[in-house]
A and B are shown apart, each in its own frame.
Chain A
Amino acid sequence: MGRGKFRIGGMKYETLSLAKINLEDERFRTSFHPDLDRLILSIKKVGLLSPPLVCRGDKGFILVSGWKRVLACRDLGLPAIGALVTGEKNGLRLFLLGLYENLATREIGLAEKAEVLSKLLKFGVEKKTLLRSYLPLLSLPATAAHLEVLLDLSKADNGVKEFVGEKELPLPLVQSLLQFMPVEQKLVLPLLRPLGQNKQKEIVEDFWEISRRDDVSVQKVLGETEMRQALGSPKLSPLEKAEKIRSILRRKRYPQLSSWQEAFASTLRKVRWPKSIAIQPSPYFEGEDISVSFRFKNEEEFKAGLKKLQEVSGKQEFSRLFKR
């Protein structure tokens, strides 16, 4: 777009000095420190095609919509940008302008949805209306329980919100994470960062359940010698540390199951169970059955597999596999 002023709907297109946009005023902001690299590249190559929306405030212009675009332009060192200036004064109506624009143009993450709901509440929308109208609008189940979790998320530390946004955590995992005290959340987050969602869920649940079961804090659990050694080890990468902590937590959370698993593995080692033959007890030892499988391409390989099984079953320790 060229320089100058003209009207679009009830708004004026103006070229504004970036310094005149008060980025400290975040009343309409719902996004968190997004990754701007691709947007920066796009603006560098083809310019800012879609102007942000601003309104007039006491200390310069207030950004209503287009945080990523403005931050990208700032990072590029642009002195001025084209923007739409609205004369609208009502806070809620301004916020809705930005919300509907975002809903129409991009995916909104969970942390951002939480921020949207919290801001709507601040702009005077009643909880009843949030439930009836805005949760469905944000593709969320319209229940009070979901609303409470999201409002809790909106109050969480920025680090947590960024993490939720960056890792696209699902709502149940967010809910579990928010059960911790803020100081505990800070301790747990670095362990979650290198892991996938299933393992993240496992760690969060184990920490929570151990601390509830034993009436101890997460700090205390992490302060135990084995944990401290794992966390302090210079040889372990962040992923290895997270895996190590996960395995210690599993043992603490499920001591009997862990000892059965260890005993089963130990028997396999003692009988020198052949690596080419898979052996699996019933999940969690719930059933008495054990399954064995191996692959073969011909009669010879099949017979070789059987022979190995025959040899193993003749060993003294073999019967331990069936001890329950």
Chain B
Amino acid sequence: MKAIRKIYVDREIYSFPLTRTILENCPDVPFKVIRNKREVDEMLASSADPVGEGKKYLWLTRQKGAFVKPCPCTPHYVGCNYFIINAALNCPLDCSYCILQLYLTNPLTTIYVNLGDLWKELDAFLRQKRARFLRIGTGELSDSLALDPITKTSGELMAYFRGKGDVSFELKTKTTNIAGVLAGPASENTVISWSLNSARIAREEEKGAPPVDERIEAARIVSEKGFPVGFHFDPLILYGDWEEDYARVIEKLFRAVKPSRVRWLSLGSLRFPPALKPVTEKRFPQTKIIYGEMVRGRDGKLRYFKPLRLELYQKIVGLIKYWGGDQVPLYFCMEDTEVWRKALKKRPRRKEEVELILSPRDDGSRSLT
């Protein structure tokens, strides 16, 4: 973890096992045990770029709220009944479109080390949700594997979910940090998934993330080890050569990974709250992605004008079906029923119906539909 300058440790959790693991795995990074992080907050507030600065420091603390929450999705669009595990907050990658730049009041890269509480909470949560298929993952407020080389928590999480057949546990990443995943046996209910984009968008807008080819290669290795894999083409971005560029990635993907091993593939187009625009402009002055023809959606977020979105999705879905066949379970992230109907010929009205589309079939990794 070259990018980490210093680790701040909450005095309360200094003796926790995960704290020790992280400090042992960062022998060259100075650390400081502190009672409260006011001094760190002040240091960040006085920085011209608190978000970028926050990525250079780790804050190890206790998750005082709930670890497990329903994915908030967005109002007025079709959700997918996903649950998120908030074991970390923020990540060392720096994507120009990341909404965390706006949402995080604490821009420090934070790891919650009280895993004992997480296991207890998960036990209770799964008991409560039993007899129902469930999708849950860690990659919502952080990248699931970006910090895995120092936390080594992927193995523990996979071990926890192994054998829990009615749950699909997802580790979602843009990285190639798969050593921890490969260290243990493969599990049919652990889905390792990658956020993919065109090579150009990955290069220009996803600072710190490996090139798309390397992500696909990591997916190939993981799927050949026996894990089901997932892919998230999100955010899809319109620019001059988008069609050719996305076609190239999709072709590469399905040449590397068997479509039958793809548990799910989600599509979402660029969207963000209007307040993110000035933040992105300031932090990424070269980017042009925020100047697309975007209008306010029903949730107040800026998103591409609907006919442009539909054209984008219809072409991407066509490419996926061409290279991956008709059986790859596709879904949209934060889209409405018109998009589902026109681009996927499906009519889910509620998130439970999307959940059904994504639930595993008996014969491998296909969906129920």
Contacts and interface: CB of A to CB of B under 8 A. Distances in A.
A256 B308 contact: yes
Interface in B236-293: 278, 281-282, 288, 291, 293
A287 B45 contact: no
B162 to A, nearest CB: 43
Interface string A271-313: 0000000000001111110000000000000000000000000
Given A212-B291, A213-B291, A286-B297, A256 B305 contact: yes
Contacts of B308: 256
Interface stretch (B46-54, B130-138, B175-183): B46-54
A254 B296 CA distance: 12
B295 A131 contact: no
Contact of B295 (A143, A284, A287, A288): A284
Contacts of A143: 45, 50
Interface string A145-182: 10010000000000000000000000010011001000
Interface in A191-249: 209, 212-213
Nearest to A254: B293
Given A284-B306, A288-B338, A212 B46 contact: no
B295 A144 contact: no
A145 B336 contact: no
Contacts of A172: 278
B339 to A, nearest CB: 10
Contacts of B293: 253-257
B293 to A, nearest CB: 6
Contact of A285 (B45, B46, B291, B305): B305
Interface residues of A, number: 28
Nearest to A215: B288
A128 interface: yes
B307 interface: yes
B57 to A, nearest CB: 16
A144 B296 contact: no
> Which of A142, A145, A175: most chain B Cβ within 10 A?
A145
B346 interface: no
A176 B282 CA distance: 11
Contacts of A256: 293, 305, 307-308
Interface string B332-355: 000010100000000000000000
Nearest to A288: B338
A6 to B, nearest CB: 46
B56 to A, nearest CB: 16
A152 to B, nearest CB: 12
B37 interface: no
Interface of A: 127-128, 131, 142-145, 148, 172, 175-176, 179, 209, 212-213, 253-257, 260, 283-288, 324
Q: Can you list the 5 inter-chain pairs with the closest CB atoms, starting with the nearest?
A: A284-B295, A213-B291, A209-B291, A144-B48, A257-B305
Given A131-B46, A142-B45, A286-B296, 11 more contacts: A128-B46, A209-B291, A213-B291, A254-B293, A260-B307, A284-B297, A284-B305, A284-B306, A287-B338, A288-B338, A324-B306
